[in-house]
Amino acid sequence: MLLLGRELYRDLPWRRTRDPYAILVSEVMLQQTQVSRVEGRWERWLERFPGVEVLADAETAEVLREWQGLGYNRRALALQRAARELKALGRFPEDERALRSLPGIGPATAAGVRAFAFDLPGVYLETNVRAVFLDAFFPDAEGVPDRQLAPYVEATCPKDASDPEDDPRTWYYALLDVGARLKRTGPNPGRRSAQRSRQGRFEGSRRQKRATLLRLLLDARAAGLPGLAADELEVSLAEFERAFGRTAPSRALVDSILEDLAAEGFCRSVGGLWSA
């Protein structure tokens, strides 16, 4: 596996650092987002928010503007909240439990940070890693849950970093690259995972309308406007939908989306104006 991993190695920019903050950013960006979309954006993010303290102190609207185009805006909010907790902590923890206590960091993200920043072992079950273990150990099974894969992942991961050619960081990079090839060259083994979920169509969906309304609010803030009235947002969203041959949304739907965005911390309403 390591020999094949070296042959297939992808020299991605976040693989050239051991800075845990930079690696955390890459792991969060890569959740449900293709590598090709993250390249360039990761570098730009670090130029704007080069460390935990800068991200923690930034205006949330600025963080969300920088995230635009990556999708799943909740990740940006969670990343900033994690930065604020890390700033208060005064250090970047290596312990799995401490990492998983941070906003937006689940088992896979914690294991990725531990492996790639600190060369520590763990169960890193990312989509490409799943593909490798499903192909090797469950070639004919359907709906394989992570609890069945985890023992194999844990048993094969090197337990220390004493051998730089066979350590957790190198091992998981190899798995990621072999898994990527498996998915390119044949039926994707990852489709047989019980964790696989099919995302609904984005075009015309409520998710797209959320993203459009948030972008309108961020653009208004960048332009120095105090906010936008719900009537203005309704008209702008209707224009966007009609431009793609879709029906204009109802006012009730616009209000419902704005209320959801406000409850999640994306925007607020003051004096009848909505702002990010």
Q: What is the pLDDT of residue 197?
A: 65
Residue 166 to residue 199: CA distance in whole angstroms: 36
Q: Hey, which residues does 25 pair with through a beta bridge?
A: none
Residues 204/241, Cβ–Cβ less than 8 Å: yes
Query: What Å distances lie between residue 211 and 65, 116, 261, CA to CA?
Result: 11, 32, 10
Q: What pLDDT is attached to residue 206?
A: 93
Distances (CA, A) of 241 to 120, 204, 220, 236: 48, 7, 19, 9
Map tokens 């969203």 to a residue: 237
Residue with tokens 């394989």: 144
Name the active-site residue from 7, 27, 94, 142. Answer: 27
Prediction pTM value: 0.90
Which residue segments constitute the domains of the chain, with CATH numbers given?
A: 2-192 (1.10.340.30), 206-275 (1.10.10)
Q: State how far the Cα of 117 lies from the Cα of 106, in Å rounded to an integer.
A: 16
Q: What is the pLDDT of residue 196?
A: 80
Residues of the chain with pLDDT under 50: none
- Run of H or E residues at 206: helix 206-222
Tell me, what's the pLDDT at 111? 98
pLDDT of residue 32: 85
The answer to whether residue 27 is catalytic is yes
Please tell me the predicted confidence (pLDDT) of residue 199: 62
Tokens of 94: 């290596």
- Given this model, what pLDDT does residue 198 score? 62
Strand partners, 274: 228, 269
Nearest to 126 by CA among 172, 161, 184, 170: 172
